[in-house]
Amino acid sequence: MSDGTDKLPAREQAVSGKLTDPPPADGATTPPQAEAPAAVLIDDTAGVEAVDRTAHLAGAEGALLRADEVVAGYVPGVNILNRTDLYVRESELVGIIGPNGAGKSTLVKAIFGLVRIRSGRVTLRGEDITNLPTHRLVARGIGYVPQINNVFPRLTVEENLQMGTFLRPKTFRQRMDFVAAIFPVLAARRRQRAGSLSGGERQMVAMGRALMMEPSVLLLDEPSAGLSPVLQDEVFFQAKQVNAAGVTVVMVEQNARRCLQISQRAYVLDQGRNAYTGTGADLIEDPKVIELYLGTLAKAA
Ligand SMILES: Nc1ncnc2c1ncn2[C@@H]1O[C@H](COP(=O)(O)OP(=O)(O)OP(=O)(O)O)[C@@H](O)[C@H]1O
Ligand SMILES: [Mg+2]
């Protein structure tokens, strides 16, 4: 006999832990599962307006990196990403903004193999890389700089950068020259422990380390977090420089306005869904985006 929770929308069922699948037609309930295998899609999109994927499907054709309808989360039965789409074309700098808890970090972690994708697909140059282990993603050209704890504080700047070439140690000199051209201060401070650097300099070490592997796409998770306004300006400038040096960049940012200013295209995520997508220039002028996501910053500008 049903206790009534199977009449709830699927999202509430998932949150209540009651069901991970829509109930079968005969009314029998399904026992809760430890973790849904990819084939059993947790359908918590019931009752939610479907996202128009037309622009994504057109733009993602031939993209360097694309994520299609990615569903992922941490707790069994609760999805944080709800069929999220993203694409990045060669040489683009693409921003991801959205409120706290929207799933921005989860999206880049899922692409980088740190959060298991329950359904959906990630491809790099058309090859399926969904749920590959992180070291294989690095070898294929994906770089990632996490939001926190992104340097080895006890190691020197140079040792941190060496860690970045652990898969190809012979390339160290050549990559070090590339990184030093973008971040000259790192060459000047190569013997200094990373833990003794300023927050802005530590971000340079973190980005530099990821660049040592010559990534085709660099995923940056909130590089400006915790920095003073002046250092935040520097980090945005650095991200632009990295992009100008030929590296495709995906940048998650809490500083939404700044992020849109430097992004060719950007995504607004909300509750793990694509809320708005467009050029940085269009989104920054969009009244809805301003009202919902740039409010206080817009007033301050
Ligand atoms: N390791 C975890 N275990 C369980 N839940 C998590 C974990 N990490 C994140 N979450 C949850 O997933 C949701 C999305 O988190 P995520 O870190 O992706 O958000 P975000 O958009 O990056 O937010 P912020 O702007 O605060 O960094 C949040 O509700 C968060 O509490
Ligand atoms: Mg985050």
Q: Residue 79 in contact with residue 14, Cβ under 8 Å?
A: yes
Check: CB of residue 233 under 8 Å from CB of residue 255. Answer: no
Around Cβ 57, how many Cβ atoms within 10 Å?
13
Ligand 1 within 6 A of 271 CB?
A: no
Assign residue 162 a region (left: φ > 0; alpha: ψ between -120 and 50; beta: otherwise). alpha
Q: Which ligand is nearest to the CA of 270?
A: 1
Does residue 84 sit within a domain?
yes
224 lines ligand 1 (CB under 6 A): no
Residue-level pLDDT at 114 = 97
Is the distance from the beta carbon of residue 103 to the nearest atom of ligand 1 less than 6 Å? Answer: yes
Task: Give the model's pLDDT for residue 6.
Answer: 39
Provide the CATH number for the domain around residue 224.
3.40.50.300
Does some domain include residue 239? yes
Tell me, in angstroms, the distance from the centre of ligand 1 to residue 101's CA. Answer: 5
Closest CA to 250 of 232, 236, 266, 233: 266
CA 163 / ligand 1 centre spacing (Å):
27
Q: Is 100 in the pocket of ligand 1 (CB under 6 A)?
A: yes
**How many domains is the chain partitioned into structurally?**
1
- Which DSSP category does 216 fall into? S
- The answer to the question of residue 178 being in a domain is no
Characterize 172-203 residue by residue with b for buried, 16 or more Cβ atoms within 10 angstroms of its Cβ, and e for exposed.
beebbebbbebbebbbebeeebbeebeebbbb
Which tokens belong to 112?
């980088």
Q: What are phi and psi of 169, to 5 degrees?
A: -60, -25
What 8-state DSSP symbol labels residue 77? Answer: T
Residue-wise pLDDT tens digits, 30-77 = 333 344 343 334 445 444 567 789 999 999 999 999 999 999 999 999
pLDDT tens-digit map of 3-17: 343 333 333 333 332
* Ligand 1 lined by 205 (C-beta under 6 Å): no
Q: Is the pLDDT of residue 186 over 90?
A: yes
Instruction: State the burial class of residue 26 (Cβ atoms within 10 Å of its Cβ: 0-12, 13-18, 19+).
Output: exposed
| Nearest residue to 255 via CA among 218, 223, 212 | 223
pLDDT surpasses 70 at 106:
yes
DSSP letter (8 states) at residue 60: T
Enter the tokens of residue 171.
């390339």
CA 73, 74, 80, 85 dihedral sign is negative
Q: With contact defined as beta carbons under 8 Å apart, do 145 and 160 qualify?
A: no
Q: In whole angstroms, what is the distance from residue 260 CA to residue 298 CA? A: 12
Q: Which residue owns the Cα nearest ligand 1 atom 30?
A: 101
Sheet of 217-221: strand order equals 142-145, 217-221, 248-252, 93-97, 265-270, 273-279
pLDDT band, residue 168 (cuts 50/70/90)? confident
Query: Which residues, including other chains, have CB under 8 Å from residue 241's CB and lie 6 or more apart?
Result: 182
Q: Report, as an integer, the average pLDDT of 110-126.
A: 97
Structural domain includes residue 154: no
The atom number, within ligand 1, closest to the CA of 106 reads 18
Beta strand 81-88 with 65-72 is: antiparallel
Q: Do the domain assignments include residue 266?
A: yes
Residue 301 scores a pLDDT above 70: no
Distance 149 CA to ligand 2 centre (A): 13
| Residue 5 CA, ligand 2 centroid: distance in Å | 32
Query: 292 lies in a domain?
Result: yes
**53 falls within a domain:** yes
Domain that holds residue 59: 9-20+30-141+215-300
Helix axes 199-211 and 172-182, enclosed angle (nearest 10)? 140
* Ligand positioned closest to the Cα atom of 103: 1
Asked if the structure places residue 149 within a domain, the reply is no
CA 36 vs CA 41, 72, 252: distances in Å: 7, 10, 28
Which of 78, 79, 80 best tests ligand 1's pocket when mutated (most atoms within 8 Å of CB)?
Answer: 80
| pLDDT tens readout for residues 138-162 | 999 999 999 888 999 999 999 999 9
- Apex 271 CA angle, 269 and 276, nearest 5: 30
- Nearest ligand 1 atom to alpha carbon 75: 4
